[in-house]
Chain A
């Protein structure tokens, strides 16, 4: 090299060598502890939430009932419950708790993915209109009979995908939009699909079905039945696990598409897969429970504060935390004002709106 005379001036980092890696180790240990805590919390929540309600059931009865029904009756710690209570736990409460867990998981993971893909901390499937599009798809299939014999979930999936596509189109494909632009575009998409849903409801529904749908659109887990719950849980679990494969890509998106590509990520493939998978799990959640908002905003942000923004740990911990969160929100929704039941979406909105304001404030500072 020709200009070697200037190289002697290179700064040398004297005095700061040999920094210990203790903080890193401690952080990893605490991550493992958090996962353990979250996993235990989820199991406890499933059992505890199945107890809540009018009948007098003990925790071990719930455990025994569940074990007996999944063919592990041999290790059940207590004798069988009377038929009516058994049915209450197994046919009504447990599937509802399971559905709450799956939906909470889907929405939290979906929020974390959307925040990385739109590079916007305010992204959430509900705020960006994906939930709204999925609702429109579901209503269109159910009331207009579009697509013949396709199921409500398929309609919700198609609607979610269309609204997501529309959102990305309006945001201008590859360029990075400002947070306010992303949110405003989300409002636009969300309002548009809400209007389409209203039109379909008014034109095709009778008074009864309109009232039922309006309640469903607010977001409720009251409709949980085994046949639907199993499909929803399986779809969401597969989707959430598949998204985990894209954790490195989501990390690499931190500085934009070109930056991710320069780190060896196949950006186009990752974006398409993430868009499809997010639509699938969001649609499965919406088809089962209507549009429950703000979970995708609340949970990933809370988890980021705890363990940082790395998606390898952020995604699974958000999934578990989201599941626990919605189990308890739903337990509150159905017991707090008994015999009246609140839509879970109303409670998440009550909690989510202040959180949104908080994140917005933090974003501006």
Chain B
């Protein structure tokens, strides 16, 4: 388990500020949901957290170490990334994909050790994809691909996992199973999600982004209020508790005609 913190993280492309002074933290073993409309900066923030893009200003820290002081390889031994909609160009099978997770631990010429193989077996088992381990990636359904990618991430034995809309293209059962699995792991997760109800149900902490800024952050019941959802998503909602489980429930009523936004417009000065 590990903690990810960012301080005053900003990033712009061609003068468009896509992320503006983001302060957030994901603590030991917690599941943090990143919410916000399309283009609000969720994927960009995940890329900065993963060190795949360098921030213009600000820092990302893993425990007490700045991302700048971690080599790619050392980082990959504690942080796994599950991207959105990846595609493979040739016929790899499920097991070979999961074995990629051992890359940061292997020397250039090392064969997989018995230890590596046990970890791969366990990751396949954990994501319930052992049955398909010799099947080609191209023949898998969306849900099976997502589980394979998650198994690959688990094979990295991560302390933290970043996931970009992992429930996309999954049917409802697989959405629930995937998030059940994620939250049951002893791993700090930062997960971008579209579905507010899933976020309310599974996340310990929620960060809502709007136009590259943090619109709100906190526990689901504190953050997911009708006013805030209306201001960020321009949708009228009813928020109540589901009578049998007592879980937070968000019902979409209507898209508001005009966006009564409280967030600042996109800033062009950089």
Q: Which residues of A contact B (CB under 8 A)?
A: 1-3, 5-7, 9-11, 13, 16-17, 19, 21, 23-24, 28, 115-116, 119-121, 176, 179, 244-245, 247-248, 251-252, 254-256, 258-259, 261-266, 304, 308-310, 312
Complex Cα–Cα for A11 and B86 (A): 24
B191 at the interface (CB under 8 A from A): no
Would A262 and B29 be within 8 Å (CB), given that A252-B100, A254-B88 are in contact? no
Q: Give the contacting residue for B100; candidates A176, A263, A266, A304; CB below 8 A.
A: A263
Q: Are B103 and A264 interface neighbours, CB within 8 A?
A: yes
Residue interface bits B176-190, CB-to-A below 8 A is 1, else 0:
110011011000000
Q: Are A1 and B181 interface neighbours, CB within 8 A?
A: no
Give the secondary structure class of B's interface.
mixed
Q: Are A255 and B83 interface neighbours, CB within 8 A?
A: yes
Q: Are A19 and B130 interface neighbours, CB within 8 A?
A: yes
Which B residues lie within 8 Å of A252 (CB)? 100, 103
Complex Cα–Cα for A2 and B248 (A): 12
Which A residues lie within 8 Å of B81 (CB)? 258-259, 262
Q: Give the contacting residue for B180; candidates A6, A115, A262, A263; CB below 8 A.
A: A6
Other than the given A7-B180, A9-B176, A308-B93, 6 more pairs (CB < 8 A) read: A7-B184, A10-B180, A255-B100, A258-B81, A259-B86, A304-B91
Would A1 and B183 be within 8 Å (CB), given that A19-B130, A255-B83, A258-B47 are in contact? yes
Which A residues lie within 8 Å of B77 (CB)? 264
Q: Which residues of B contact A (CB under 8 A)?
A: 29-31, 47, 50-52, 71-77, 79-81, 83, 86-93, 96-97, 100-101, 103-104, 106, 108-109, 111, 117, 121, 125-126, 128, 130-131, 134, 156, 176-177, 180-181, 183-184, 201-204, 219, 245
Would A3 and B76 be within 8 Å (CB), given that A24-B117, A252-B103, A254-B97 are in contact? no
Which A residues lie within 8 Å of B183 (CB)? 1, 3, 6-7
Which A residues lie within 8 Å of B100 (CB)? 251-252, 254-255, 263
Which B residues lie within 8 Å of A312 (CB)? 109, 111
Complex Cα–Cα for A199 and B159 (A): 60
Complex Cα–Cα for A247 and B93 (A): 18
Q: Are A308 and B108 interface neighbours, CB within 8 A?
A: no
Complex Cα–Cα for A179 and B90 (A): 11
Q: Are A121 and B89 interface neighbours, CB within 8 A?
A: yes
Q: Are A262 and B80 interface neighbours, CB within 8 A?
A: yes
Which A residues lie within 8 Å of B91 (CB)? 304, 309
